[in-house]
Amino acid sequence: MINNVISPEYNEDGRVMRRVRSFVRRQGRLTKRQEEALESEWAEMGIDFINEPFDFAKLFNNSNPVILEIGFGMGTSLVTMAEQNPDKNFLGIEVHAPGVGACLASAKEANVTNLRVMCHDAIEVLDFMIPNGSLAMVQLFFPDPWHKSKHSKRRIVQVPFAEKIRTKLTDGGVFHMATDWEPYAKHMLEVMNSVAGYENVSVSGDYVPRPESRPETKFEKRGQRLGHGVWDLMFKRI
């Protein structure tokens, strides 16, 4: 059901460095709720990796715009977005099985039908399964910032990755990023400004206020109470 999971550590080209070829369900790693959701909901909402492009109209049984979220964590905000936007389709990719299980459980409880999830390396999914020009939006919220300067090249947002995302967006499609680490926000801005074919949505040329389309997480609200900032970037394919 869930196999060939790839751990999310990236090199300077935006590719995964450490690979785990098969998922091993370790005792205690999954809650009962997560495990039951993986068993009962995967057939309906889960997608296994195959080397074949998606037919999104067939996958969702409609031609609504498709939004991809990379690294959805426990899936709380992703399920909320899907629930609040029934006229859009959502595809979430996450490499941690507990998060996938939690997302599936929440989606079932919310009676969400416009959501599909994968447990695989997002780079490989982009390379082999996402058709060019097929996504209305790509969301990357709070990725690992790799705080130490010597590890900064492991950040997923690098020029090759940004270029790859652009090819998957429709004309006018948006790459939406968010981070609570200001040095990473500056890094994202520098990378995105260097890639041809994007236009910054920000009227000030840097960051945008959190759009209503991105729900606040409990972690984010707690950070704000502690005085931590959050930076949203939105770049449109032109």
Tens of pLDDT, residue by residue over 28-37, are 489 999 999 9
Of the candidates 53, 75, 78, 57, which has an alpha carbon nearest to the alpha carbon of residue 66? 57
**Is 80 marked as binding a ligand?**
no
Residue 9 marked as a ligand binder: no
Q: What is the pLDDT of residue 9?
A: 52
Which pTM value belongs to this model? 0.87
What is the number of other CB atoms lying within 10 angstroms of the CB of residue 132?
A: 11
Q: Please classify residue 34 by burial: count the beta carbons closer than 10 Å to its beta carbon, then call 0-12 exposed, 13-18 middle and 19+ buried.
A: buried
For residue 37, CA distances in Å to 65, 86, 89, 112 come to: 26, 22, 20, 14
144 known ligand binder: yes
Q: Is 121 annotated as a binding residue?
A: yes
Which pLDDT belongs to residue 21? 34
- The answer to whether the beta carbons of residues 102 and 72 sit under 8 Å apart is no
According to the annotation, is 109 in a ligand binding site?
no
Q: Is 206 a catalytic residue?
A: no
142's CB contacts (< 8 A; 6+ apart) are: 71, 73, 178, 179, 180, 217, 219, 220
Comparing C-alpha atoms, which of 170, 137, 176 is closest to residue 157? 176
pLDDT of residue 28: 42
Per the DSSP assignment, residues forming a β-bridge with 109 are: none
Other beta carbons within 10 Å of 74? 20
- Residues in the chain, pLDDT under 70: 1-28
Q: DSSP string covering the chain, please?
A: ---S-B---B-TTS-BSSB-SS----TTTS-HHHHHHHHHHHHHHB----SS---HHHHHTS---EEEEE--TTSHHHHHHHHH-TTSEEEEE-S-HHHHHHHHHHHHHTT--SEEEE-S-HHHHHHHTS-TT-EEEEEEES-----SGGGGGG-S-SHHHHHHHHHHEEEEEEEEEEES-HHHHHHHHHHHHHSTTEEE--TTSS-BPPPTTSPPPHHHHHHHHTT---EEEEEEE-
| 218 labeled part of a ligand binding site | yes
Cα 126–chain centre separation: 11
pLDDT tens-digit readout, 213-222: 999 887 788 7
For the chain, the structural domain boundaries read 32-237
Q: What is the pLDDT of residue 13?
A: 59
CATH of 32-237, one of 3.40.50.300, 2.30.42.10, 3.40.50.150, 3.40.640.10: 3.40.50.150
Whole-angstrom distance, CA of residue 16 vs CA of residue 39: 28
Cβ(238)–Cβ(198) under 8 Å? yes
Q: Which of 144, 171, 206, 232 is catalytic?
A: 144
219 carries a ligand binding annotation: yes
